[in-house]
Amino acid sequence: MAQDTTKAELDRVKNVILQAKEKACRETDNEPEPELTSRVEWPVQCTVGPGLEGAIAAETKIGYVNGTKGSLIYRGYDIFDLCAHSTFEETSYLLLHGRLPSSSELASFSAMLRRKMLIPRTQRLLLSFPVEEMLPMAALRLGTNLMRQKQTFRDKDTFLAETADSIAADEDSIPMETPPTGGKKSVFEFIKHIFTKPETAPAHLISSEEIESCYNLLGGVVSVAAAIGRVRQGHIPLEPLPDLSLAGNYLYMLTGRRPTPLQERIMDVCFILHADHGMNASTFASMVVASTLSDIYFAIGSGIAALSGPLHGGANVEVVQTLEEIGEAKSVKAWYQKAKADKRKVPGFGHRVYKAYDPRARVLGPLAEMLAEEDPAIKPLFETAKELERTVVAELGESKRIFPNVDFYSGIVYKSMGIDEHLYTTIFAVSRVAGWCARVMEYLEQNRIFRPRAIYTGTLHEEYVPLDQRDPTGT
Ligand code: ACO
């Protein structure tokens, strides 16, 4: 009986997604833009705006955002089909390896990622920082850096000089103070175990550009993100459960409760939707860092930093806050008129690339609706969102091509799962690790360090005036 209910709920999720696909197909074709889908001869001619808008920086086979028509493709597969039929693990395999896995490949890939979620040493290091007081995205970035310390040996040489002089102490008997010696010698012994390179270190631990590091990050960042949420609630991090997916384990390790199959599936769809999205700011940041032949942990850390801003991944937090500020659906029109008068941008609307309805919002909107139907606490928030969508699209849809973006409904979905709003952007980051890694790996195959130029518009030929001859007022 319970199994029948679960199957019916999961079928409903699939149907909601397929209906969203049908609606998208009715409203727009997804004919690709020829100038963005045919091979180029380098150097390429293009019109570039400020912030590199319109610049063509690389060729890719990983994903394509059709901003004119509002479609999104990973490795040739439409996002609606991946959401309806695939899983985050399978989609990650697709992004990283360029094709769908066979069933045995998928089974071993998924099992391996589950093992990669076990990162006790990274979590132990993480807990030595005041994670509960940090911005979750700052803590996540720190977490990737700590994974780097654990999983690469790049820092070994500088570190060993100090561990040789380390004081002998176990974790429980670290002296409160160590006598000053005039040098940096007080290194806790347990750190030595973490950093000392084994004689027979596997090659993938030395070369952090290897695909193995991508797997470490894919699994590990799930655990770091969940641990951050857990610590913020005053609990200790949990280990993953072997029979749950990455998405299910994220929810389990965050809340301490086994998610329902419906919650696990919806989170899985959210992970798929956020896995990749063209050369956006955070992907570009990762690629720029990787192009210097820095390592992939640093590269992903930069992606996390870029994603944290409210113009990028941080918008869904603002969406929920805005909806709460509006209060109820009938207050939307008055709120919007005031926002317009104040020249305030409405969070969750507009996009640099999409000048059509974001396909990810087409999936998330109905999923949020489905959850709102079951949850009286979420229903008013959803109704307010729907009314805000109607109002903004009526005002700006035709004239400025402003529609809801991926962040507009994702916050409602996460809220209905009881997730603290401060963690929303970390969920985005957990899934985007797949796209960041895939694009970094692809770019490194034919790496060229990024180096755009700026037009200098300052003065020229200034004469240096010595300090004592300058106007003391500084004007
Ligand atoms: N609400 C109201 N008006 C908007 C909005 C909005 N959310 N977004 C754009 N506009 C208007 C602008 O005021 C501008 O009008 P104007 O031509 O009269 O000056 C016009 O649309 C073009 O806007 P730009 O800011 O130039 O568009 P741009 O491509 O630079 O910005 C961005 C895209 C940053 C996403 C913007 O739409 C925005 O700030 N949205 C709100 C924040 C948000 O939701 N961010 C998440 C984006 S999705 C993601 O990163 C995952």
Quote the CA–CA distance of 290 and 284 in Å, as a whole number.
Answer: 10
Residue 312 known to be catalytic: no
Ligand 1 pocket check: which of 349, 399, 410 to mutate, most ligand atoms within 8 Å of Cβ? 349
Distance (Å) from CA 287 to ligand 1 centroid: 24
**The ligand 1 atom nearest the CA atom of 340:** 2
Catalytic site residue from 268, 295, 358, 407:
407
Catalytic residue, candidates 295, 351, 422, 471: 351
Nearest to 274 by CA among 222, 226, 236, 341: 222
Residues 119 and 197 in one domain: yes
Q: Kindly state whether residues 283 and 368 are assigned to the same domain.
A: no
| Residue list, ligand 1 pocket, CB within 6 Å | 311-313, 315, 345-352, 396, 400, 402, 405-407
Q: Looking at the structure, do residues 260 and 183 belong to the same domain, yes or no?
A: yes
351 C-alpha to center of ligand 1: Å? 6
Domain that holds residue 326: 316-416
pLDDT at 293: 86
Instruction: Please give the number of the atom of ligand 1 that sits closest to the Cα of 312.
Output: 50
The pLDDT score that the predictor gives to residue 203 is 46
- Residue at 204 is within a domain: yes
- 380 in the same domain as 355: yes
Calculate how far, in angstroms, residue 173's C-alpha sits from the geometric centre of ligand 1.
55
pLDDT, residue 222, reads 98
CATH number for the domain spanning 383: value is: 1.10.230.10
Say if residue 223 is in the same domain as residue 93.
yes
Q: Whose CA is nearest to atom 30 of ligand 1?
A: 352
Q: Considering the domain boundaries, does residue 454 fall inside one?
A: no
Does one domain contain both 331 and 427? no
Do 241 and 271 lie in one domain? The reply is: yes
The Cα–Cα gap between 384 and 381 comes to: 5
Q: Does some domain include residue 296?
A: yes
CA of 396 to the centre of ligand 1 (A): 11
User: How many separate domains does the chain show?
Assistant: 2
Tell whether 374 is covered by a domain. Answer: yes
| Bridge partners of residue 73, in order along the sequence | 64, 78
Give the per-residue pLDDT at 406: 94
| Span from the CA of 135 to the centroid of ligand 1 (angstroms) | 25
Rounded-to-integer distance, Cα 313 and Cα 324, Å: 19
- Cα-to-centroid distance, 346 and ligand 1 (Å): 8
In a domain, 46, yes or no: no
> What CATH code is carried by the domain that includes residue 246?
1.10.580.10
Q: At what angle do helices 281-291 and 296-307 cross, to 10 degrees?
A: 150
Q: Computed from CA positions of residues 291, 293, 296, 300, in that sequence, does the dihedral angle turn out positive or negative?
A: negative
Encode pLDDT of 235-292 as tens digits: 999 999 999 999 999 999 999 999 999 999 999 999 999 999 999 999 999 999 999 9
Residue 28 is assigned to a structural domain of this protein: no
Give the atom of ligand 1 at the shortest distance from the alpha carbon of 280.
50
Residue with CA nearest ligand 1 atom 39: 311
245 and 273 assigned to the same domain: yes
Last residue of a domain, one of 401, 416, 431: 416
Residue 118: predicted pLDDT: 95
Query: Which residue type sits at 373?
Result: E
Based on the fold, state whether residues 363 and 395 are members of the same structural domain.
yes
Q: Which of 53, 68, 307, 311 to mutate to test the pocket of ligand 1 (most atoms within 8 A of CB)?
A: 311
In terms of domains, do 372 and 282 share one? Answer: no
Please indicate whether residue 407 is annotated as part of the active site: yes
Q: Using CA positions, which residue lies closest to atom 22 of ligand 1?
A: 400
Is residue 30 a part of any domain in this protein?
Answer: no
> Nearest residue CA, atom 34 of ligand 1?
311
Looking at the structure, tell me whether residues 349 and 274 fall in a common domain: no
> What is the reported pLDDT for 58?
94
| pLDDT at residue number 150 | 66
Distance 450 CA to ligand 1 centre (A): 27
- Of all protein residues, whose CA lies closest to atom 41 belonging to ligand 1? 347
Averaged pLDDT, groups of 10, the chain, 475 residues long:
84 97 93 90 92 93 96 97 98 97 97 95 92 96 88 52 38 41 38 41 47 94 97 95 97 96 97 97 96 90 94 87 96 97 95 94 97 94 97 96 96 95 96 97 91 94 96 84
Measure the CA–CA gap between 141 and 134, rounded to whole angstroms: 11
Are 299 and 334 members of one domain? no
Q: Whose CA is nearest to atom 15 of ligand 1?
A: 400
In a domain, 70, yes or no: no
